[in-house]
Amino acid sequence: MSTALTADELAARVEEFLAAHDPAQLQTDEDRLEWLRARFDAGLAWVSYPAGLGGLGLPRAMQGAVDAAFRAAGAPSNRPEVNGIGLGMAAPTILAYGTDEQKQRFLRPLWTGEEIWCQLFSEPGAGSDLAGVATRAVLDNDTWVVNGQKVWTSGAHNADLAILVARTDPDVPKHSGLTYFLCDMHDPGVDVRPLRQITGEAEFNEVFLTDVRIPDSSRLGAVGEGWRVANTTLNNERVAIGGRVAPREEGMIGVVAQTWRDHPERRTASAHDRLLRLWVDSEVARLTGERLAQKIAMGQPGPEAAAMKLSFARNYQQLSGLELEILGEAGLRYENQQGWTMVRPDHVSFTGRDAGYRYLRAKGNSIEGGTSEILRNIVAERVLGLPAEPRADKNIPWKESLR
Amino acid sequence: MSTPLALLDTDVETDLRITVRELLADRCPSDAVRAMYDGDRSIVGKLWKALGVDLGLAGLLVPEDQGGAGASAREAAVVLEELGFAAAPVPFLTSAVVATTVLLETAREGGSEPVSGLIGALASGEGTLALVVPFSTARNGRLATAMVDAAGCLSGEVTSVAGVLEADTLLVPVADGDRVALYAVEAGAVAITPVSSLDMGRQLADVRLDGAAGELLSGDAEAAIRTALDTGSALLASEQVGIARWCLEETVSYLKTRRQFGRVVGGFQAIKHRLADLYTAVESGTAAAHYAAAALAAGDPDWLVGASVAQAYCGDLAVYAAEEALQLHGGIGMTWEHPTHLYLKRAKADQIALGTPGAHRAALADFVNLPAAEA
């Protein structure tokens, strides 16, 4: 059958499913999980995925209506807010490179939220230069033995599985010696330690890997193909950043505009002009995102999303800094939920908690997901076609490069 | 904001863009624009005939039943972006956008016979018009300085007016108590003094009315005039984007060939990062300008917010892009021979035209409820 469903037929399919699986009847967590599994098996989980893997092979644009219909019916949620790495990065990579067996094994529990994922990419010695990772994986019969240290792993303390990039061949240039794995976070060799950050809490972790054993059946893609596989993951991260159209005054500008409206006594002429400049910048960034989404819908995706992220980081940092100044005395206090007490949150909101937290957390926006400096290189090289940076380590065996 | 407005060119708009760009590449060489600074304005008439009459752009916004092309603000934005890209010296903004909108708005409110006559002249390209206010007039600015006597003769002086040197008929706002009346005056009936202007590609003039005979078009034209100025603001953003895009593309292209220290200069990271930031700004400005035009074309009530956002952003963008182009070209960018200064002068003049970015931010403060500090 090659004819794709129309929007009306898809809506009817959702109605049919809801009639047969009434969300109002669900009592226990197990009921809700069974319901989510049934939704997956009906192809109504992520409709752009292939039939048999939670989807119906439909355009990604048709997902919104399905989600809205299920939400309106009070359907259980698969809690995407705690499994962003799984849904946004691991799943599309498994779909692109996984064997049939891997797709069958991993995608359903990933989507239902039974298994939470994290990302073991960055290392203390490999941040922007991700292809320089030093974590080693050595084959022992049909099992890989992994040793190394990963860092900036959000959600590692709650994760069941991880996407992992490790070095399998140090004798070839750095991009050629990497392999991509799906790692069991419950392996006894995995040690997760909180990494406390400038906000006082530990949103991220360090992950120490000591003789972690990964069966060769959990390798994603060919040995030595890890860099290409990892780029699939990272490109999906950028689509996720650039692909969503926000309403006006969503995000940090909404928070700071509200602070301005709530505090007439704190208004000054200079803060007013700065706020209006940032309001304009935020609105223009929103429109730029909308235009980019229209380009992507027309089939013109590309590295332009890197430019969006540059604007986003700058806006959030300038706005959150301005908000503290508007608040004045109140900006001197850091009294959000727990002050500086070390906690381990299960998800993060850039616009949550109080102004001091927002100011400090925004500092990460120009570092995480590609530093602003690396993003400028991407725009300059891949969009504008300017010469690439000289790379001293590109064509020599990884083990001979200076680190 | 239910269905998002289309922010990309339609196929028809792409065709129009290519047509205008090709014509300008052929008929608007930068040395002819540069010659205007030395008093040779010979390019203006020829180019405006080719664009306005031959391509029919003079009547682009005039409805088809009044003899025009019946196009929308979206197409006008495409034309302005290309005019900015070429730093072209034609009165499209002043006649085909601002003056045309004044008349169309006046007609909509029940205009007189002479109004439709003037619209017909605009549509065919036989008539070129200009609204007689200083080019720097912001959306809340004073409109009328001229006076009228009992015999219908106008007197007064209006300085720094754009589009007058190309116009045959002038639209003159006249103070009438609390109201603003609008008169049409033959250009030949007033004293027009060309001004040595920052941007000689859009050379200004001082207009002196010394008992000139005027024909009353409307006794209450303030709303029509202000709508026309806001329309001009919304669409000037596209000219500014065109300027900025030329500066970006020209600079990138130059820096891919210019070598120093044995390397292509565009390969230095200090340069690459500046160009990446400029690209980001140009893409952002493009989205803002397209939104303003799309909202205006759709009759979306949000169009005034869109216009203010676009002017607040793109006014500075064009100047930033031209200043970067000059700096990154090094010494050659400082020469009279290189076209960058034509864009810098256009950009700086456009930043002040129809209200500075600061004036548009102040307007926005009212639109989006971000009040200023109490005085």
DSSP string, A123-187: BTTBSS-GGG---EEEEETTEEEEEEEEE--TTGGG-SEEEEEEES-TTSBGGGSEEEEEEETTS
The CATH number of the domain holding residue B206 is 2.40.110.10
Total Cβ atoms within 10 A of residue A30: 9
pLDDT computed for residue A3 by the predictor: 63
- Asked if the C-beta of B374 comes within 8 angstroms of chain A's C-beta atoms, the answer is yes
pLDDT at A402 over 90: no
Q: Tell whether B291 and B183 lie within a shared domain.
A: no
- The ipTM is 0.94
Please tell me the distance in Å from A65's CA to the nearest CA on chain B. Answer: 14
Q: Tell whether B341 and B318 lie within a shared domain.
A: yes
Residue given tokens 């725009």 in the structure block: A379
pLDDT computed for residue A234 by the predictor: 80
Mean pLDDT of A40-55: 96
Do the strands B129-131 and B169-176 form a parallel or antiparallel pair, or are they unpaired? parallel
Q: Tell whether B213 and B103 lie within a shared domain.
A: no
Total Cβ atoms within 10 A of residue B167: 24
Domain that holds residue B285: 224-367
- Asked if the C-beta of B372 comes within 8 angstroms of chain A's C-beta atoms, the answer is yes
Chosen domain end from B124, B144, B173: B124
Contacts of B343 (CB under 8 A, 6+ apart): B87, B243, B246, B247, B318, B321, B322, B325
Q: Tell whether B215 and B228 lie within a shared domain.
A: no
Q: Do A310 and B269 touch (CB under 8 A)?
A: no
Q: Tell whether B350 and B243 lie within a shared domain.
A: yes
Confidence category of residue A298, pLDDT binned at 50, 70, 90: confident
Say how far apart CA A349 and CA B199 lie, in whole Å: 48
Q: Tell me the per-residue pLDDT of A251-275, one tens digit each, with 9 for 90 and over.
A: 999 999 999 999 999 999 999 999 9
Considering only CB atoms, B8 lies closest to which of A257, A285, A295, namely A295
In chain B, the number of structural domains is 3
- Are A128 and A371 a contacting pair, CB within 8 Å? yes
Q: Tell whether B75 and B163 lie within a shared domain.
A: no
**Does B2 reside within a domain?**
no
Contact list, B280 vs chain A (CB under 8 Å): 307, 310-311, 379
**Does B374 reside within a domain?**
no
pLDDT computed for residue A238 by the predictor: 54
**Does B372 reside within a domain?**
no
Chosen domain end from B124, B145, B160: B124
- Are A385 and B251 a contacting pair, CB within 8 Å? no
Question: Which two structure tokens, joined as six digits, stand for B353?
Answer: 């035209």
- Are A312 and A364 a contacting pair, CB within 8 Å? no
Chosen domain end from B191, B220, B249: B220
Q: Which residues of A are catalytic?
A: 237
pLDDT computed for residue A239 by the predictor: 53
pLDDT computed for residue A301 by the predictor: 58
pLDDT computed for residue B111 by the predictor: 66
Mean pLDDT of B92-115: 92
> Euclidean distance between the first and final Cα of chain A, in Å?
55
Confidence category of residue A242, pLDDT binned at 50, 70, 90: very low
Mean pLDDT of A34-40: 97
Q: Tell whether B38 and B120 lie within a shared domain.
A: yes
pLDDT computed for residue A362 by the predictor: 97
Question: Which two structure tokens, joined as six digits, stand for A25?
Answer: 């009847």
The CATH number of the domain holding residue B263 is 1.20.140.10
Q: Do A284 and B313 touch (CB under 8 A)?
A: yes
pLDDT at A395 over 90: no
Which candidate in B259, B264, B273, B284 is best for mutational testing of the A interface (most A CBs within 10 A)?
A: B284
**Does B345 reside within a domain?**
yes
User: Between A and B, how many CB-CB pairs are < 8 A?
Assistant: 131
Locate the chain A residue with the closest alpha carbon to B359: A273
pLDDT at B133 over 90: yes
**Does B4 reside within a domain?**
no
pLDDT at B322 over 90: yes
**Does B332 reside within a domain?**
yes
pLDDT computed for residue A1 by the predictor: 43
Q: Tell whether B237 and B207 lie within a shared domain.
A: no
- Are B237 and B292 a contacting pair, CB within 8 Å? yes
pLDDT at A354 over 80: yes
Say how far apart CA A324 and CA A275 lie, in whole Å: 12
**Does B49 reside within a domain?**
yes
Q: Tell whether B251 and B171 lie within a shared domain.
A: no
- Are B130 and B100 a contacting pair, CB within 8 Å? no
- Asked if the C-beta of B55 comes within 8 angstroms of chain A's C-beta atoms, the answer is no
Q: Tell whether B110 and B164 lie within a shared domain.
A: no
pLDDT computed for residue A237 by the predictor: 63
pLDDT computed for residue B86 by the predictor: 98
**Does B320 reside within a domain?**
yes
Q: Tell whether B190 and B62 lie within a shared domain.
A: no
Q: Tell whether B251 and B185 lie within a shared domain.
A: no
Beta-ladder partners of A204? A195
Mean pLDDT of A355-376: 94
